[in-house]
C-alpha cells in the first residue's frame, strides 16, 4: 500500500491504547479511574497562565529564535546553576515543542544506521521506538526490582561495543519511579569518558523536582552535568509544572552539536511556540511555591498507593521515591500483564498500564500512576479489592 517498513512496524504506545479504550467506556457511561497516564491532574500555576496571557496581549505571537527565546534559555541555564551548581552556555540549549521532538532531533543527529544506544529494561516505552525509527539499535540492559531497578555500571560496560553511540539514563525513572544513585551515575559518566570516541550519556531529566526523601541512599536527583559536560540532557515543563498541553521542552547538548541541531530545528519546526516559551520563563522564575505544593500532594498519594497495593498483595519490593509511578509485580494474578490490565479496566473500571509497554523486563508488572487525587486513588483501591476478591481470591505475593 506504499507504507514504509518503519511506519508499518513501529509498535503501539500501549498506555495510549489503554487510555483510548477507557475513554470509549466513559462515552458508554462507565466510571473509570485513570491510573494509566503520566499526566498531572493539577491546573497549570496561575503565574504561568498570566504570563502567557500577557504575551498574547503584547502580541508576542511571532517566530522566535530557532534555539528558543534567549530569555528562556538564560532562565534554564540559571536553573541548572542554582539547582546543580553547573554552568550551561545558553547557546547549548535548544527549546522544542516538548521533549519528544527534542528526542527525535537528538537521535537524528547522533545515529547512523546500526548505531547502538544502551537503555535500561524496563524503561520509558518510546525510547526504543525513537532509536529504531532513526535506524539505530536499542541494547537493553536488565535492571532488577531486587536492586530498586538500578543500572549496574559493570553490566553497561559488558553491553558496550564499537557501535555504542550512547548510554541513556532516566532518573527519576518512568516506569519504576526510582532514582539512580549518585555513585552509579558518576560511574556511568566515567564509562563514557573512558571509552574510545563516543558513547555519550543521554540523561532524561523530565521528572526532576519530583523526588521524595525516604532516607534511601538514592533520595534526591542529580543531573548528569554534575559528572560530565559532554552529555545530552532532555528536560521540559510538562511534568513538574503541570504543562503537558503547552508542549514545551528543551535539550542541552555538547557545544559541537548545537549548530547542527539548530539547523535541523529550523528546517523541521522553525521554533517552539512563542506563547509557551514566555510562559516557561514564568514557570522557572515564579512557580516554586506551586511546584512544592504539588510535590507534597504527590508524596501523600505515593505513600497511600504503595501502602494500598501492598495490602492487596501486589509486589513492590522497594518503595519508589521519584516521578509519580509505582511498578508492581502482578504475574501471580495472570502471567500476561497485557490481558490482565485490560481485564481490570473492563471489570473494575480502573485503567492501569501493562508492564510490557516498557520492554521485556516489564512483563509481569503493572504500572500505576498517582497523578490523580487521593479520593480517586482510594476508589481505585476499593475497586481493585473487589476485582481481586471476584477473579483472583486468595492470590497474594508475600510482602
The predicted-structure confidence for 274-325, as pLDDT tens digits, reads as follows 999 999 999 999 999 999 999 999 999 999 999 999 999 999 999 999 999 9
The domain limits of the chain are: 5-43+289-390, 48-287
What is d(CA 9, CA 114) in angstroms, rounded to the nearest whole number?
A: 17
Report residue 246 as a C-alpha cell.
Answer: 503547552
* The pLDDT value given to residue 195: 67
* The pLDDT value given to residue 220: 78
What is the architecture, at CATH level 2, of domain 48-287? 3-Layer(aba) Sandwich (3.40)
What is d(CA 144, CA 20) in angstroms, rounded to the nearest whole number?
A: 30
Q: Tell me the pLDDT of the chain (399 aa) as tens digits.
A: 688 988 888 888 999 999 999 999 999 999 999 999 999 999 999 999 999 999 999 999 999 999 999 999 999 999 999 999 999 999 999 999 999 999 999 999 999 999 999 999 999 999 999 999 999 999 999 999 999 999 999 999 999 999 999 999 999 999 999 999 999 999 999 988 876 666 999 999 999 999 998 766 555 799 999 999 999 999 999 999 999 999 999 999 999 999 999 999 999 999 999 999 999 999 999 999 999 999 999 999 999 999 999 999 999 999 999 999 999 999 999 999 999 999 999 999 999 999 999 999 999 999 999 999 999 999 999 999 999 999 999 877 655
* The pLDDT value given to residue 5: 87
* The pLDDT value given to residue 216: 60
| Nearest C-alpha neighbor of 156 from the set 113, 199, 108, 115 | 199
Q: Is the link from the previous residue into 368 a cis peptide, with omega within 30 of 0?
A: no
Q: Write out the chain in H/E/C secondary structure.
A: CCCCHHHHHCCCCHHHHHHHHHHHHHHCCCCCEECCCCCCCCCCCHHHHHHHHHHHHCCCCCCCCCCCCHHHHHHHHHHHHHHHCCCCCHHHEEEECCHHHHHHHHHHHHCCCCCEEEEEECCCCHHHHHHHHCCCEEEEEECCHHHCCCCCHHHHHHHCCCCEEEEEEECCCCCCCCCCCHHHHHHHHHHHHHCCCCCEEEEECCCCCCECCCCCCCCCCCCHHHCCCCEEEEEECCCCCCCHHHCCEEEECCHHHHHHHHHHHHHHCCCCCHHHHHHHHHHHHHCHHHHHHHHHHHHHHHHHHHHHHHHCCCECCCCCCECCEEEEECCCCCCCHHHHHHHHHHHHCEECEEHHHHCHHHCCEEEEECCCCHHHHHHHHHHHHHHHHHHCCCCCCCC
CATH for 5-43+289-390 is 3.90.1150.10
* The pLDDT value given to residue 222: 95
Reported pTM: 0.94
What is d(CA 40, CA 51) in angstroms, rounded to the nearest whole number?
A: 20
Amino acid at each position: 500500500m506504499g507504507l514504509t517498513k518503519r511506519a508499518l512496524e513501529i509498535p503501539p504506545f500501549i498506555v495510549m491504547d489503554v487510555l483510548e479504550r477507557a475513554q470509549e467506556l466513559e462515552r458508554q457511561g462507565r466510571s473509570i479511574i485513570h491510573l494509566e497516564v503520566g499526566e498531572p491532574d493539577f491546573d497549570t500555576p496561575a503565574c504561568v497562565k498570566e504570563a502567557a496571557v500577557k504575551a498574547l496581549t503584547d502580541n508576542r505571537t511571532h517566530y522566535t529564535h530557532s534555539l528558543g527565546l534567549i530569555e528562556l534559555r538564560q532562565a534554564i541555564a540559571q536553573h541548572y546553576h542554582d539547582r546543580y551548581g553547573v554552568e550551561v552556555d545558553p547557546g547549548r540549549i535548544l527549546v522544542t515543542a516538548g521533549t519528544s521532538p527534542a528526542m527525535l532531533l537528538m537521535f537524528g543527529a547522533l545515529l547512523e544506521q546500526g548505531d547502538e544506544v544502551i537503555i535500561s529494561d524496563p524503561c520509558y516505552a518510546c525510547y526504543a521506538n525513537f532509536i529504531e525509527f532513526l535506524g539505530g539499535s536499542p541494547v537493553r540492559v536488565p535492571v532488577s526490582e531486587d536492586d530498586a531497578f538500578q543500572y549496574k555500571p559493570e553490566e553497561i560496560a559488558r553491553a558496550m561495543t564499537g557501535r555504542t553511540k550512547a548510554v541513556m539514563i532516566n532518573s527519576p525513572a518512568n516506569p519504576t519511579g526510582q532514582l539512580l544513585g549518585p555513585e552509579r551515575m558518576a560511574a556511568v559518566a566515567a564509562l563514557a569518558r573512558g571509552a574510545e570516541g563516543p558513547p555519550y550519556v543521554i540523561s532524561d531529566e523530565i521528572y526532576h523536582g519530583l523526588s521524595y526523601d525516604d532516607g534511601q541512599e538514592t533520595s534526591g536527583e542529580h543531573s548528569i552535568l554534575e559528572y560530565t559536560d559532554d552529555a545530552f540532557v532532555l528536560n521540559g515543563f510538562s511534568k513538574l509544572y503541570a504543562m503537558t498541553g503547552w508542549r514545551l521542552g528543551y535539550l542541552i547538548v555538547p557545544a559541537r552539536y548545537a549548530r547542527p541541531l539548530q539547523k535541523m530545528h529550523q528546517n523541521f519546526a522553525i521554533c517552539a511556540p512563542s506563547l509557551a516559551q514566555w510562559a516557561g520563563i514564568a514557570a522557572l522564575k515564579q512557580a516554586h511555591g506551586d511546584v512544592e505544593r504539588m510535590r507534597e500532594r504527590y508524596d501523600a498519594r505515593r505513600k497511600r498507593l504503595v501502602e494500598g497495593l501492598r495490602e492487596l498483595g501486589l509486589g513492590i519490593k522497594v518503595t519508589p521515591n521519584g516521578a509519580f509511578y509505582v511498578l508492581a509485580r502482578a504475574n501471580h494474578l495472570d502471567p500476561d500483564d497485557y490481558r490482565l490490565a485490560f481485564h481490570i479496566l473492563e471489570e473494575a473500571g480502573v485503567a492501569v498500564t501493562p508492564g510490557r509497554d516498557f520492554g521485556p523486563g516489564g512483563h509481569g508488572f503493572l504500572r500505576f500512576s498517582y497523578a490523580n487525587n487521593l479520593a480517586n486513588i482510594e476508589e481505585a483501591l476499593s475497586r481493585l479489592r473487589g476485582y481481586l476478591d471476584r477473579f483472583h481470591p486468595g492470590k497474594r505475593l508475600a510482602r
